[in-house]
Copies of this chain bind each other. A is one copy, B any other.
């Protein structure tokens, strides 16, 4: 997706300029994993003969992601984002109608090629939100990945402005989660995408961490196929300051991460995707689930300090935060 944002803290078109980068849930995960040193491939549908799409593919390569792009009919999705400050929330305006991915349908992707050599497959709740056919495609993808022996993870990623084709998220997402090994979510996702209740007030800023254990166990009980669920805990004091932590439940143990006070948010969009990437990378490469969880939270904490959807931190830098205290002393 093309991401268009006004410069600084301006509102849309206050100046005749957009900062033009790329983003989108799955792409953000792929970029972050490559940045940590992992291998990643990004599979999607995009229109042919479009230099903006070509630039997107180049950008993926730049980060070390292998683009696996089926050129098909439809548009290249766009989203506009106005980063917030203080009491003013960030605002996202989607322009994804008629995008190539929304028009794609089951059977359009050759999964043997797309998944060749893949040990892990990750998707999000954004694809099934776009259209009936995209939802079918997502289910097909998850099932194909399972069939090929890949581990599967899904970030529920509920976006209320996207579910417009006549189905509610909770009518569709369960079929995806049933073929999944790991679920990533925030407390709102669980309620809206899976129809399971959490006693959490998402607007209070103060979170009761114990409620999260119950929420995680509710999901694990409902979907016994799951090997683990991670839930991010964003305490939103304002658009400029969030508390940031997460918990993880592997069916046996409930783990809580260190909590970061992010006091001067530069850009929070993509933070959740970076968490997902960190978790996947960590579960594949680090000794324990706690290590994976801490890596994921630290990586996504750092993401908040740079503009753009994409994470731009190496494994060394994330581990630097884990070892140090985030005191921000100049490195020279």
Binds B, one of A14-22, A104-112, A283-291: A14-22
The interface bits of chain A over 256-297 (1 if a CB of B lies within 8 angstroms of the residue's CB, else 0) are 000010111110110000000000000000000000000000
Nearest CB in chain B: distance from A291 CB, A: 18
Q: Would A84 and B328 be within 8 Å (CB), given that A14-B306, A20-B4 are in contact?
A: yes
The interface bits of chain A over 11-53 (1 if a CB of B lies within 8 angstroms of the residue's CB, else 0) are 1111111111100000000000000000000000000001110
Interface size on A, residues (CB 8 A): 84
The interface bits of chain A over 237-251 (1 if a CB of B lies within 8 angstroms of the residue's CB, else 0) are 111110000000000
Contact B263 A89 (CB under 8 A): no
Contact B92 A331 (CB under 8 A): yes
Q: Would A238 and B8 be within 8 Å (CB), given that A16-B15, A87-B262 are in contact?
A: no
Within the complex, which residue of B61, B93, B260, B302 is in contact with A52, where a contact is CB–CB below 8 Å?
Answer: B93
Interface check A217, CB cutoff 8 A: no
Interface check A223, CB cutoff 8 A: no
Chain B residues in 8 Å Cβ range of A312: 11, 14
Within the complex, which residue of B18, B85, B89 is in contact with A331, where a contact is CB–CB below 8 Å?
Answer: B89
Nearest CB in chain B: distance from A263 CB, A: 6
Contact B238 A327 (CB under 8 A): yes
Q: Would A17 and B20 be within 8 Å (CB), given that A80-B52, A330-B84 are in contact?
A: yes
A302-332, CB < 8 A from B: 302, 304-308, 312, 321, 324-332
Q: Would A86 and B16 be within 8 Å (CB), given that A9-B307, A91-B51, A95-B76 are in contact?
A: no
Interface check A205, CB cutoff 8 A: yes
Contact A266 B302 (CB under 8 A): no
- When chains A and B are docked, how far (Å) is the Cα of A236 from the Cα of B324? 12
Chain B residues in 8 Å Cβ range of A301: 86-87
Contact A88 B328 (CB under 8 A): yes
Chain B residues in 8 Å Cβ range of A86: 262-266, 301, 304-305, 326, 328
- When chains A and B are docked, how far (Å) is the Cα of A92 from the Cα of B52? 11
Nearest CB in chain B: distance from A5 CB, A: 10
A-B contact list, 27 entries, CB within 8 Å: A8-B8, A11-B51, A14-B307, A16-B21, A51-B80, A51-B82, A75-B95, A84-B328, A85-B264, A85-B266, A86-B266, A86-B328, A89-B327, A89-B330, A89-B331, A90-B330, A92-B331, A92-B332, A98-B98, A203-B324, A203-B327, A204-B327, A205-B325, A205-B327, A236-B329, A238-B328, A269-B330
> 14 more A-B contacts (CB under 8 A) besides A15-B17, A85-B264?
A9-B306, A18-B20, A51-B82, A61-B61, A86-B301, A87-B260, A87-B321, A88-B328, A161-B332, A236-B327, A237-B328, A238-B326, A241-B264, A268-B330
Using a CB–CB distance below 8 Å, which chain A residues touch chain B? 4, 8-21, 50-52, 55, 58-59, 61-64, 74-76, 78, 80, 82, 84-95, 97-98, 159-161, 202-205, 236-241, 260, 262-266, 268-269, 301-302, 304-308, 312, 321, 324-332
